Amino acid sequence: MTRLTGRLLVGGELRPGALTIEGERISGLELDEPAWEPADLPVIAPGLIDLHIHGFALADPLDDLEGMARALARAGTTGFLPTLFPAAPRRLGAQCADFGPRRDALPPEVASPLGLHLEGPFVNPRAAGALPLQDLAEPSVAALREILGTASGDGRDIKNVTLAPELPGSADLVEELVRCGVRVSMGHSLAGAEEARAATRAGARGVTHLYNAMSGVHHRQTGLAGIALTEDLLYAEIIGDLVHVGLEAWDLALRCRGPRGLCLVSDALAGAGTGCDHFHVHGRDHEILGGTAYYPAGPGREERQLAGSAMSQLEMVRRLTEQGVVSLADALTMASTTPAHALGLEAERGVLSPGARADLLILGGEDLQLMQVWLAGTCLSA
């Protein structure tokens, strides 16, 4: 049995106390009334869960899943949805079919891939953002079946699909995905309010990277961002590099939804976690400035274009708290507890409570240094 003491993230608050670990699980929890300055204690939080990440440490889900999962664990993310870019449906289906065996072969000391997130291909070309237009597809159940295969449930380990609900045929996809147990997220979309609400009524439960690549908020035509800010059934992803989403938009999101409705995601590309200034992946050059990844200016592109982030979730937690955007407790909640709820894993992950899997972080000092990472009751670093 192992006993850890510190400021524990419980119920969205940091409270002094202790927890015990036996085997792979948290076996006990004790909360104290503060008898000393609680800031002197290390912070103990659930392992972070990233719902939207394309790569890390020059590894990605297709080329090096183990390398990506190993590096993420060392960076404080203990569970993640490996996120695939669009591809022709049959090709994307083959990529998904190959995922399960590779996931099952992973060693225990790496972050847990919790299922695939497909960012497309059924998204709006006029809101594609950094997604390659040539790889998008028109929504149809036949095309979806090429991706899912003949399996039922979350076929081929697909956990989440981002689609544009306003496209012809998307309503059928929402119905089929929900029937198959696959979570539907709305994004890369120009949906109006009624289209977004109709998809929500049909079972959509997520919004992909709030504000980015979607219809916004207008006083006569509320778009997808407006529905994400007002619909409690939806969990909205939000990127925390403070470039994809500025301070005022963060303030609006927090006032509307609070930390229990927002999931802090990295949307990181393979150059994240490396410290490099440039990287090349999937045939495209990228440059990194201040933790954000861009396609550089060049032929056919007069200005650099946002491509994703180059930060881990924990780095975003630090940036958000250093800038005074949100409290540490709320930032950690958005990066752990809320994503677990979004995936229906709140009894198992994202929480410090007896019976939950012992995935947790220990952070120390004002700079939130990562002191220890625990995976299923095993300490990775000291």
Alpha-carbon separation of residue 343 from 15, 118, 241, 287, 297 (angstroms): 26, 15, 23, 32, 37
SS3 content of the chain, % helix, strand, coil (to 5): 30, 30, 40
Marked catalytic residue, from 267, 277, 330, 367: 267
Name the amino acid, one letter, at 309: S
Q: Are 147 and 99 in contact (CB under 8 A)?
A: no
Bridge partner residues of 262 (DSSP): 236
267 is catalytic: yes
Instruction: For residues 101 and 240, give the distance between their C-alpha atoms in angstroms, rounded to a whole number.
Output: 32
DSSP state of 38: G
The two counts, helices (H) then strands (E), for the chain are 11, 20
- Rounded to 5 degrees, what angle do the CA atoms 312, 297, 129 make? 60
Burial track 247-261 (b if 16+ CB lie within 10 A, e otherwise): eebbebbbeebebeb
Instruction: For residues 275 and 51, give the distance between their C-alpha atoms in angstroms, rounded to a whole number.
Output: 23
Pairing label, strands 284-289, 278-281: antiparallel
**Which residues does the annotation mark as catalytic?**
267
